[in-house]
């Protein structure tokens, strides 16, 4: 066996978080679509696809290591938002939470002397910096524009290639 059971269990638990994050972003994308804010919707759709990719990457790692990858049920997601800032703030908090979870996974890999997993997780460590940075940029822009001027946010997303969803993703 390449991996310890504690590591396998922790990775399977993280898969739940990544799939849940994916669905949460899709819920936010649909909210913005219903508000006729297509750039914001597109941004969150792409984030949703990215999170799906993160879950798949973790599952593939378990399969490659000869372990049992489990496709989980996901947690509840929030579907109703009063303001754009509320939705983006939720997204930023989610990214900060996932960053903590990835750090804990790395801690566990180090504790278990599992250098294979520690190495594998470095991609996620770098990815979280991108994700937190792009989401906190977006929250700044949303707050600066204000709820009455969300078309300025649309303009920002249409013009700014880094903010364009997926643009800041770490190389696989
Ligand atoms: Fe993720
Ligand atoms: Fe993320």
Output the CA 47–ligand 2 centroid distance in Å: 7
How far, in Å, CA of 34 to CA of 32, rounded? 5
Output the CA 48–ligand 2 centroid distance in Å: 8
Q: What domains lie within the chain, and their CATH numbers?
A: 5-159 (1.20.1260.10)
- Ligand at minimal distance from the CA of 131 is 2
Output the CA 14–ligand 1 centroid distance in Å: 9
- For 162, which DSSP code? T
Output the CA 99–ligand 2 centroid distance in Å: 8
How far, in Å, CA of 25 to CA of 42, rounded? 10
Q: Say how many Å lie between the first and final Cα of the chain, rounded.
A: 25
Output the CA 147–ligand 2 centroid distance in Å: 24
Contacts by 78-83 with C-beta closer than 8 Å and gap 24+? 78/24, 78/27, 79/27, 79/30, 79/31, 80/31, 81/28, 81/31, 83/147
Q: Is the pTM of this model over 0.85?
A: yes
- Ligand at minimal distance from the CA of 102 is 1
With beta carbons less than 8 A apart as the criterion, state whether 163 and 137 touch. Answer: yes
How far, in Å, CA of 169 to CA of 78, rounded? 25
Listed in sequence order, the residues at least 6 apart from 62 whose beta carbon sits closer than 8 Å to its beta carbon are 3, 8, 11, 12, 68, 69
Neighbours of 94 (CB within 10 A): 21
Q: What is the residue-level pLDDT of the chain in tens, covering all 172 positions? A: 899 999 999 999 999 999 999 999 999 999 999 999 999 999 999 999 999 999 999 999 999 999 999 999 999 999 999 999 999 999 999 999 999 999 999 999 999 999 999 999 999 999 999 999 999 999 999 999 999 999 999 999 999 866 655 544 454 4
Output the CA 52–ligand 2 centroid distance in Å: 9
């Amino acid at each position: 066996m390449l991996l310890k059971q504690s590591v396998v269990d922790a990775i399977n638990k993280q898969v739940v978080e990544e799939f849940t994050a994916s669905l949460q972003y899709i819920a936010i994308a649909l909210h913005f679509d219903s508000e006729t804010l297509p750039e914001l919707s597109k941004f969150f759709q792409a984030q949703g696809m990215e999170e799906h990719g993160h879950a798949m990457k973790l599952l593939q790692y378990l399969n490659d290591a000869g372990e049992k990858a489990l496709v989980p049920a996901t947690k509840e997601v929030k579907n109703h938002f009063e303001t754009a800032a509320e939705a983006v703030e939720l997204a930023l908090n989610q990214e900060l939470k996932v960053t903590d979870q990835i750090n804990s996974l790395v801690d566990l890999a180090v504790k278990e002397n599992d250098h294979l997993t520690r190495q594998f997780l470095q991609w996620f460590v770098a990815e979280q910096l991108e994700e937190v940075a792009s989401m906190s940029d977006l929250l700044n822009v949303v707050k600066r524009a204000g709820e009455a001027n969300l078309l300025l946010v649309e303009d920002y997303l249409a013009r700014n290639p880094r903010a364009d969803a997926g643009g800041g993703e770490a190389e696989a």
